[in-house]
Amino acid sequence: EVQLVESGGGLVQPGRSLRLSCEASGFTFDNYAMHWVRQAPGKGLEWVSGISWASGNIDYADSVKGRFTISRDNARNSLYLQMNSLRVDDTALYYCAKPKTATPGSLDSWGQGTLVTVSS
């Protein structure tokens, strides 16, 4: 059974940093690209970032480009999101998600999310 467990969220002041982690199990992690998707309270879904299986291809939403860095450690079956210069509008539940094998952007497994609150 695929499991994705996010951690690292919390309350942080504007301008500070936070690092999210996602531990994966139940599938061959290094065969898959991985993604972060967020959802602000009461709002819709926003794709944040994606990374290919070997970290050769990385993409970001314009809203986080230059502030967030996605990375992965295939030996640890883990995905990360380093978030710097956090803003109030980064407040959201952050999900990590795994795509289907043959359709890279179709996200068939999601974690439970970790909540990031940016407030002074």
Question: How far is CA 85 from each of CA 19, 35, 67, 74, rounded to the nearest angstrom?
Answer: 12, 21, 6, 27
Minimum gap (Å) between residue 4 Cβ and another protein: 9
Q: Which is nearer to another protein, 21 or 61 (CB)?
A: 61
Query: Which positions touch another protein (CB under 8 A)?
Result: 35, 37, 44-47, 50, 59-62, 95, 100, 103-108, 110-113
Minimum gap (Å) between residue 106 Cβ and another protein: 4
Minimum gap (Å) between residue 46 Cβ and another protein: 7
Euclidean distance between CA atoms 4 and 112, whole angstroms = 8
Query: Residue 110 CA to chain centroid, in angstroms?
Result: 10
